[in-house]
Chains A and B, each alone.
Chain A
Amino acid sequence: MVAAGSPAARGFNCSNCGAPVELRALQHARAVACTSCGSILDPRDPNLRVLQKARSKESITPDIPLGTRGTWHGQPWEVIGFQRRSIEVDGIRYSWDEYVLFNPYRGFRYLSRYEGHWNDIRTVRELPEPTGSGKRPTIRYQGETYAHFQSATAHTDFVLGEFPWRVRLGDEVKVSDYNAPPYLLSSETTDDETTWSLGRYTDAQRIWQAFAVPGSPRTPSGVFANQPNPYKERASRSYRTLGLLLALFLVLVVGRLVTAAREQLLAARYTYQPKDQNAAFVTEPFAVRAPGTVEITLSADLTNAWIDFDLALINTDSGVAWNVERELSYYSGTDSDGAWSEGSRERRVLLPRIPAGEYYLRVEPEGEATSQPVSYVIQVRRDVPSLLPYGVALLLLVAPSIAATARSSSFERRRMQESDYGD
């Protein structure tokens, strides 16, 4: 049952082309663009004088047709006007669309669309307070701080339907945007008067549902000024988890380093005689009391010589031998660039998964036949912790947080590209 009351819409004929024009905003409209010829008329003038004659330009079809009614914020709102405006930055024109929504009790609201990003906008009456004038000036509104994003001159390119102000094609206003995602505070200045409006980033799907728009909204491209960053929250939360993990990790590593046995099984000095044909020998047996790693350290005080070791850790009972070969060498001198040195006088070998048992080492050294005798030390220890696995683990632990931060930062960087402060 339609509620009786004052007529909400009235119709008349365009004074330029005679086509029927419908007025939906009661007495509020200050300008109405004829949908047929595009001329802008004064709806408050009894003769409907033409404010601006039509200019034959492209015809744009709004995503949401004029006259569409939808429930928005729990109240009915009707689309009564549409305009396309643009700014020019570095020689490139960027256009966006605006829809004028009307409700007889609540007045006017606006929806804007740029590259698939939608904003729900309302004029605000409070004055934002300037709070900072650094690289990016800031203003404060309703307890929230907004940072300057972009200033430009907006040019009205196309209009359709009714507007609560005297719109004209070719109108130019200075627009400044300040962002605090998901909000965008914008000012428009003509002559001396400045109007502020607050936009909230809105999912296009909600608008399509509210106004029963056929089809699907296009996916937005790029990042919009007040588009919420979906990665920011994730990144900051990941740091809390990382903090906890690092604390536990630290306890684990310190615990391991402190409790590692580092038990010395053999430490002896030997001399290699170059002319000796039968250089191979075996060490005294030693007990590996628990399964795990066995570390063999070879060190020799070499001067411009090398010595190669053929090592076998042999289990007396099982007869299994673990074989490795390592070479020590050290060369040094001076040339035109200064002193140089090459090689290393000490090497370690870490043998993994050595079962418990009695072992001895078979050693076969070999050096240059013409060199001096080489004195060297062999040290065998078990359960020596190595830091490499923990270094790798640390990188792996930190990686997800770093990745999350990188994604969040990349989003912000793409956001700022559209601003006065981007690249």
Chain B
Amino acid sequence: MRGPAGRCPNCSAPIQFRWSSAVQTVCESCRSVVVRHDVDLEAIGEVSDLPPDSSPVQLGTEGRFDDRPFTVIGRIVYEHADGGWSEWHLAFGDGSSGWLSDAQAEYAVSALVRPPRPLPPANTLTVGYAYSWQDRELQVTTLTRARYTGVEGELPFEYWGKTEVLFADLRGYDTTFATIDYSEETPLLFVGRFVDYDDLSLRHVRTYEGW
């Protein structure tokens, strides 16, 4: 489902949105963050080179989740005191959006959902806080203060220039995995589950010398 094409407002390099619902992308030539307003494109900033990382996933990687094919089209990189992780933006065949989280080669696929009840404000949140999702009991297991390091590719929203973001990870008694993202004014809830690398049938992944 191709998106519109245009020219980078900063360096005039050609820009082709691969995904029709993309709101933001990064110009590969000048690394400007380009936001799409209908047919108009606006350059709103620049991103520096992403730090060297070890994720085997890359833009253009294809895979399957629950029998639904997807393509990796974007990415947000975070870092925190003990490490970092990537949130890879997935475009599914039906046009919907998903996220593949890669934290030290532990993977989870989730999607933005509408919270069934209000999410707790950041200042009241503690480890152990219980939140139920579709009759499944979840608890907050980790609170992470992460630094937004950069973006790459196409994203379904404007996401740029953030500094520190609070994330709450929730887990249940099955593979259910959820995250509350406090980067926006209204917290966002993403729900999904942990997956093994081999469950995703990934193709066009990064290769490593000797592996």
Contact between A140 and B208, CB atoms less than 8 A apart = no
Chain B residues closer than 8 Å to A27, beta-carbon distance = 52-54
Contacting A at CB under 8 A, from B137-183, are 139, 141-142, 171-175, 177
A6 to B52, CA, bound (A): 11
A119 to B87, CA, bound (A): 32
Residue A388 CB within 8 A of the other chain: no
Total A-B Cβ pairs within 8 A: 90
Residue A106 CB within 8 A of the other chain: yes
Residue B40 CB within 8 A of the other chain: no
Chain B residues closer than 8 Å to A125, beta-carbon distance = 106, 108, 171, 175, 177, 194
Chain B residues closer than 8 Å to A192, beta-carbon distance = 127
A266 to B195, CA, bound (A): 88
Q: How would residues 110 to 129 of chain B score, 1 for a CB under 8 Å from any chain A CB and 0 otherwise?
A: 00000000000000000100
A103 to B198, CA, bound (A): 12
Contact between A104 and B173, CB atoms less than 8 A apart = no
A105 CB contact (under 8 Å) in B139, B173, B177, B197: B197
A30 to B177, CA, bound (A): 25
A3 to B53, CA, bound (A): 19
Contact between A3 and B207, CB atoms less than 8 A apart = yes
Q: Please, which residue of chain A has its CB at the minimum distance from the CB of B52? A: A27
Contact between B104 and A6, CB atoms less than 8 A apart = no
Q: Please, which residue of chain B has its CB at the minimum distance from the CB of A76? A: B211
Contact between A107 and B174, CB atoms less than 8 A apart = no
Chain A residues closer than 8 Å to B139, beta-carbon distance = 127
Contact between B52 and A5, CB atoms less than 8 A apart = no
Q: With A3-B211, A4-B209, A8-B209 in contact, do A104 and B175 touch (Cβ < 8 Å)?
A: no
Which among A2, A26, A129 has the greatest number of chain B C-beta atoms within 10 A? A26
Residue B56 CB within 8 A of the other chain: yes
A6 to B94, CA, bound (A): 33
A339 to B207, CA, bound (A): 98
A141 to chain B, nearest CB (A): 8
A164 to B198, CA, bound (A): 21
Chain B residues closer than 8 Å to A126, beta-carbon distance = 171-175, 194
Q: Please, which residue of chain B has its CB at the minimum distance from the CB of A164? A: B104
Contact between A2 and B210, CB atoms less than 8 A apart = yes
> How many residues from A make CB contacts under 8 Å with B?
33
Chain B residues closer than 8 Å to A8, beta-carbon distance = 208-211
Residue B5 CB within 8 A of the other chain: no
Contact between A7 and B209, CB atoms less than 8 A apart = yes
Contact between A104 and B171, CB atoms less than 8 A apart = no
Residue A381 CB within 8 A of the other chain: no
Which among A108, A127, A164 has the greatest number of chain B C-beta atoms within 10 A? A127
Chain B residues closer than 8 Å to A6, beta-carbon distance = 206-209
A217 to B172, CA, bound (A): 39
Residue A274 CB within 8 A of the other chain: no
Q: With A105-B197, A127-B171 in contact, do A30 and B211 touch (Cβ < 8 Å)?
A: no
Residue B1 CB within 8 A of the other chain: no
Residue A28 CB within 8 A of the other chain: yes
A8 to B52, CA, bound (A): 12
A165 to B177, CA, bound (A): 22
Chain A residues closer than 8 Å to B194, beta-carbon distance = 125-126
Main secondary structure of the interface of B (DSSP, over half): loop
Chain B residues closer than 8 Å to A165, beta-carbon distance = 82
Contacting A at CB under 8 A, from B12-43, are none
Contact between B54 and A123, CB atoms less than 8 A apart = no
A70 to chain B, nearest CB (A): 13
Contact between A129 and B54, CB atoms less than 8 A apart = no
Chain B residues closer than 8 Å to A104, beta-carbon distance = 54, 56, 105, 208, 211
Q: Please, which residue of chain B has its CB at the minimum distance from the CB of A139? A: B173
Contact between B106 and A107, CB atoms less than 8 A apart = yes
Residue A193 CB within 8 A of the other chain: yes
Residue A128 CB within 8 A of the other chain: yes
Chain B residues closer than 8 Å to A234, beta-carbon distance = none
Chain B residues closer than 8 Å to A105, beta-carbon distance = 56, 105, 197, 205, 211
Q: Please, which residue of chain B has its CB at the minimum distance from the CB of A107? A: B105
Chain A residues closer than 8 Å to B171, beta-carbon distance = 125-127
Residue A240 CB within 8 A of the other chain: no
A107 to B106, CA, bound (A): 7
Q: Please, which residue of chain A has its CB at the minimum distance from the CB of B108? A: A125
Contact between B206 and A127, CB atoms less than 8 A apart = no
Q: Please, which residue of chain A has its CB at the minimum distance from the CB of B83? A: A30
Residue A166 CB within 8 A of the other chain: yes
Chain A residues closer than 8 Å to B83, beta-carbon distance = 28, 30
Q: With A28-B105, A106-B197, A108-B105 in contact, do A127 and B209 touch (Cβ < 8 Å)?
A: no
A236 to chain B, nearest CB (A): 31
A166 to B173, CA, bound (A): 27
Q: How would residues 122 to 138 of chain A score, 1 for a CB under 8 Å from any chain B CB and 0 otherwise?
A: 01011111000000000
Contacting B at CB under 8 A, from A84-117, are 103-108
Contacting A at CB under 8 A, from B37-96, are 52-54, 56, 82-83
A28 to B85, CA, bound (A): 10
Contact between B54 and A28, CB atoms less than 8 A apart = yes
Leading 8 A-B pairs by shortest Cβ distance: A107-B105, A5-B207, A26-B54, A129-B173, A125-B194, A27-B54, A8-B208, A105-B56
* Pairs across A and B, CB under 8 Å, 21 listed: A5-B208, A5-B211, A8-B209, A8-B210, A8-B211, A9-B210, A27-B52, A27-B53, A28-B105, A76-B211, A104-B54, A104-B208, A105-B105, A108-B105, A125-B171, A126-B172, A126-B175, A127-B171, A128-B173, A140-B173, A193-B141
- B-to-A contact residues, CB < 8 Å: 52-54, 56, 82-83, 104-106, 108, 127, 139, 141-142, 171-175, 177, 194, 196-198, 205-211
For the complex with contacts A27-B52, A106-B198, 5 further pairs of A-B residues with Cβ separation under 8 Å are A5-B211, A8-B211, A30-B82, A104-B105, A105-B205
- A-to-B contact residues, CB < 8 Å: 2-9, 25-28, 30, 76, 103-108, 123, 125-129, 140, 164-166, 192-194
